[in-house]
Amino acid sequence: MVQINENYLKLPGSYLFSEIARRVAAYSEANPQAKLIKLGIGDVTRPLCPAVIEAMHAAVDEMGVQETFRGYGPEQGYDFLRDAIAKHDYAARGVQMAADEIFVSDGAKSDCGNIGDIFGTDNVVAVCDPVYPVYVDTNAMAGRAGEYDEKTGKWSRLHYMPCTAENGFSPVVPEGKQVDLIYLCFPNNPTGATANKAQLQAWVDYANTVGAVILFDGAYEAFITEPDVPHSIFEIPGARTCAIEFRSFSKTAGFTGNRCAYTVVPHELERGGASLNRLWNRRQTTKFNGVPYVVQRGAAAIYTDAGKKQVQETISYYQKNAAVIREGLQTAGLTVYGGVNAPYIWLKTPDGCPSWDFFDRLLQEANVVTTPGAGFGPSGEGYIRLTAFGGAAATAEAVERVKAIL
């Protein structure tokens, strides 16, 4: 009889955002009159900008004409997009990146999970706590996480790095301990915290010393407002020999429904005598057939003058929402973090209320959907996360509703 991957049986019942969707659907069904405001999953709400729409329309037209029709594209992405990324996301910030170090894909979520294919199952994986659950669940699926303990909410083989208010939500480099794969996400999901150059340098130095690899998720890079915050791990000397970076058009340009992202694997990055760029290329060419041409044309349009300006307008719109949430809740006497360089606001629940209880209270009494901090890991207990990706009016109303029930 066929054997299943038993690691799946060890996973908690459902993925965090599916569980939230389930609870929200159940509440809506029982209370059809409730006008919910959703500040839970970080999904964008503003339409694609005109430059992207124009480029996608033109690409659709090309696909309908014999001379310009395209079948399979390069698995790694079209040169026009890889070149634009290298120029605008890296060279413009003083970072040299070759186009063939950039792999265009259908999402940072998929890449953060799929990257595990090129690493052995015995590696010790370090994750922040709280953490974007994809890093944890995909390592559990691959058999790298050990056993799940429901009481502690932890996996036996993962190395958890508590990120708390006391340490500024910044993970501490393990001293005297070998970890092999290190997931870092800055600006951080869920806390909205950032890492400065010195903090990232400490990670790069550690990884180069012990032969670890940093998996750096920069999906929220576009939301950085403060000048000294690094936008890429590759701004840090030494990162090319120890880091892989994930970036996405999802939050930057409203592509959550369009699916386009990219992963950067430098040529200098080698482990066990093998080039990780070659391994990732081998993985992608075997298991992935590239992002649709029309979508890649849309993505490339954000690097035109008009596209840059329009995308920035949308990001500013969300940044204003973040300020409305942060300042509104602070005025109400609540303790909030994040929301300055990130679209997430990390709110300490009042009177130490457990995350899921506060989530339920906000859902039922204020009809506002949030994400319970405990869903991101044990150190997220006592917090909830709000996103700035809603509509401006709905966001302002959500803040008033929350204030009114407290």
* Binding stretches for ligand MLT (CB under 6 A): 41-43, 109, 132, 189
| Residue nearer to ligand MLT on the CB measure, 189 or 319 | 189
| Shortest reach from residue 189's CB to ligand MLT, in Å | 5
Determine the straight-line distance between the first and last CA of the chain, rounded to whole angstroms: 56
Angle between helices 305-331 and 50-63 (to 10 degrees): 130
Burial pattern 87-114, b for ≥16 Cβ within 10 A else e, equals ebbbeeeebebebebbbbbbbbbbbbbb
| Shortest reach from residue 325's CB to ligand MLT, in Å | 15
| Residue nearer to ligand MLT on the CB measure, 43 or 205 | 43
Question: Which among 403, 339, 345, 395 is positioned nearest to 373, based on CA atoms?
Answer: 345
| Residue nearer to ligand MLT on the CB measure, 213 or 219 | 219
E-assigned strand segments in 200-302: 213-217, 243-248, 261-264, 270-271, 274-275
| Shortest reach from residue 43's CB to ligand MLT, in Å | 6
| Shortest reach from residue 297's CB to ligand MLT, in Å | 23
Residue nearest to ligand MLT (CB): 42
| Shortest reach from residue 41's CB to ligand MLT, in Å | 4
| Shortest reach from residue 295's CB to ligand MLT, in Å | 17
How far is Cα of residue 387 from the mean position of the Cα atoms in its chain?
13
| Residue nearer to ligand MLT on the CB measure, 59 or 215 | 215
Q: Could you tell me the two tokens for 280? A: 């990732």
| Residue nearer to ligand MLT on the CB measure, 276 or 302 | 302
SS3 state of residue 351: helix
311's CB contacts (< 8 A; 6+ apart) are 49, 222, 252, 253, 302
| Residue nearer to ligand MLT on the CB measure, 293 or 389 | 389
Burial pattern 312-326, b for ≥16 Cβ within 10 A else e, equals eebbeebbebbebbb
Region of 353 (left: φ > 0; alpha: ψ -120 to 50; beta: rest) is beta
| Residue nearer to ligand MLT on the CB measure, 86 or 342 | 342
| Residue nearer to ligand MLT on the CB measure, 90 or 376 | 376
Tell me the β-bridge partners of 346. 337, 385
E-assigned strand segments in 276-397: 336-338, 344-348, 368-369, 371-372, 383-387
Q: Could you tell me the two tokens for 325? A: 């949430």
| Shortest reach from residue 257's CB to ligand MLT, in Å | 12
| Shortest reach from residue 391's CB to ligand MLT, in Å | 17
